[in-house]
Structure 1
């Protein structure tokens, strides 16, 4: 993978083989992927959001994108028809590569592949689903960033940039685990809450491997979340709560204080850690999250 005399090549996590005449220099990306690329030394020319995102860039998901002046094009699924044409937002930034994520290993998550194909743009989709372990996710994003910097050969197989920082943060988690019960959730308003199923989230699965006692929400529909009421969430007995901090997590105007009294009373002594379920897949971003978890556990 990378560039040589014969051009640029990369195999994405759908098994799609990209062979280009030259290394791409103008990358448009889904916000999560773009924030990771920025951390890894590749500045996107633009980013777009998912169906959960609005007209403005969610600062929680953005990482350093806003500070770097990377323009936001709006939700990727809206870049269709005229908006997705050569004169539309995606065409206007003159990208020569699109980088997205995939949860099923088949389709890009945040953009219509037909729009990308219609513009004649190559697409890279990297897996971030529950069937992929976190170290592999970080390795793959480091790999594509290295290929875009034409430095892919600097990484040995199985290695990724910033691995030492992640290892140090994970060591801090191991040292602090103790017995606190940890619940990860996403607020859905005054009456409902989504409680995460830890195996469905690579970073939560990794925390479990490190010894963290992440609580299962119980049986019910949903592979990534159990949607329930706040009373049921309170009964899980959380000592540490990982709270979805994205803009779409709680309906406007309700906020944390709008949750029922039974929940506020249950977590009165709990430690709260902001959790972005779409953390940029870079070592720096995940090391920071693990350090926050370690501090709360300790």
Structure 2
């Protein structure tokens, strides 16, 4: 259960401040010339030409797509049970890519090989390539890992921007520059919203039918970033890694004016499902109808996080600060 739980919450612990590692791209939009990139493990990838056939984990694929880099194949969450696109994969056109696996631990090496991939890209919470099984990691090289665990969002955005640029994307003009401007505006808006609501206490949770998980913002890149913008997000005093696990009977021991709930429907209970749990309905924020989404696995792009911050700022503006004393 602990392994499954870590999988559940590490996927939302979305970033150290080591400076950007060296990355350089080949000239020309479709390759030509040698190509090198050093990933966040410190591993240098050297190829005879810029890779164009890329297989990427869902969150990485969604991020690169927004930066203008289209991928050939994907692995990791793609669709929800009702057929809707999983938020983790963002704007990727699932009709134009091939899937080599959609659940944790699933990786079809035969299908992967058929795509003739030149580079595999995924995220990391530590030094482990996310969603790449141990049995497959030596068979999908070369691999590039971008670390997101515990790193503030701007640092992760910078790393993905460097990777996208190395892969031939224009990250200084066009849609990416416009998205960066929207991101900066959304950041200022969230900072202003937080400043206008001093004393607003926020709790972030993820849930299963048996347990409630109090998310640790210092280990979650997005929440760590939001705290730096002025939001007062509760930090658990107990537990380990990315959360403190508590029983549903303990829910009132964690009062807050506003609760943000993990929105990954494939991994966690939705607010509608949580509403059927009697003790959850006793939480003061729930009674005050001050519950919103935590975008635990949003793609790490300017476009994605501009939207996340705009929605969060609006939620903060609407919230009362007197729900708890």
Alignment-derived partner of residue 117 in structure 1 = 138
Return the match for 1:184 from 189, 200, 204: 204
Q: Label 1:223 to 1:76 Cα distance change in 2 as closer, same or farther (>3 A).
A: closer
Does residue 20 (structure 1) correspond to residue 67 (structure 2)? The answer is no
Q: Label 1:2 to 1:194 Cα distance change in 2 as closer, same or farther (>3 A).
A: same
Distance in 2 between residues matched to 1:262 and 1:251, nearest whole Å: 12
Q: Label 1:217 to 1:118 Cα distance change in 2 as closer, same or farther (>3 A).
A: closer
| Structure 1 segment 240-279 matched on structure 2, within 5 A | 240-250=258-268, 255-263=273-281, 266=284, 267-279=286-298
Work out whether residues 14 and 125 of structure 1, in 8 Å CA contact, stay in contact via their aligned partners in 2: yes
1:57 Cα shift? 8.3
1:163 Cα shift? 3.0
**How many residue pairs were aligned?**
280
Work out whether residues 69 and 169 of structure 2, in 8 Å CA contact, stay in contact via their aligned partners in 1: no
> Comparing both chains, which one has the higher relative contact order based on Cα–Cα distances under 8 Å and sequence gaps of 6 or more?
2
Work out whether residues 194 and 225 of structure 1, in 8 Å CA contact, stay in contact via their aligned partners in 2: yes
1:49-102: CA deviations, max 9, x gaps? 17xx99x886121211246633332236322xxx42xxx121122221100111
Alignment-derived partner of residue 14 in structure 2 = none
1:8-54: CA deviations, max 9, x gaps? 1111000010111111111110001001011111111111017xx99
| Structure 1 segment 151-230 matched on structure 2, within 5 A | 151=170, 154=172, 162-177=179-194, 178=197, 179-189=199-209, 191-219=210-238, 221-230=239-248
Distance in 2 between residues matched to 1:144 and 1:57, nearest whole Å: 29
Does residue 78 (structure 1) correspond to residue 95 (structure 2)? The answer is no
Alignment-derived partner of residue 149 in structure 1 = 168
| Helix, strand or coil at the partner of 1:117 | coil
Distance in 2 between residues matched to 1:217 and 1:231, nearest whole Å: 17
Distance in 2 between residues matched to 1:166 and 1:180, nearest whole Å: 23
| Structure 1 segment 128-147 matched on structure 2, within 5 A | 128-130=148-150, 132-147=151-166
Alignment-derived partner of residue 2 in structure 1 = 25
Distance in 2 between residues matched to 1:110 and 1:250, nearest whole Å: 18
Flag as ranges the 4+ runs of structure 1 deviating above 4 A. none
Distance in 2 between residues matched to 1:19 and 1:63, nearest whole Å: 29
| Helix, strand or coil at the partner of 1:140 | helix
Distance in 2 between residues matched to 1:160 and 1:76, nearest whole Å: 34
Work out whether residues 191 and 229 of structure 2, in 8 Å CA contact, stay in contact via their aligned partners in 1: yes
1:272 Cα shift? 2.4
TM-score (norm: length of structure 1): 0.84
Return the match for 1:98 from 120, 133, 146: 120
TM-score (norm: length of structure 2): 0.77
Return the match for 2:251 from 212, 227, 233: 233
What runs of 5+ residues in structure 1 fail to find an aligned partner?
none
The range that moved more, 230-239 or 282-291, is 230-239
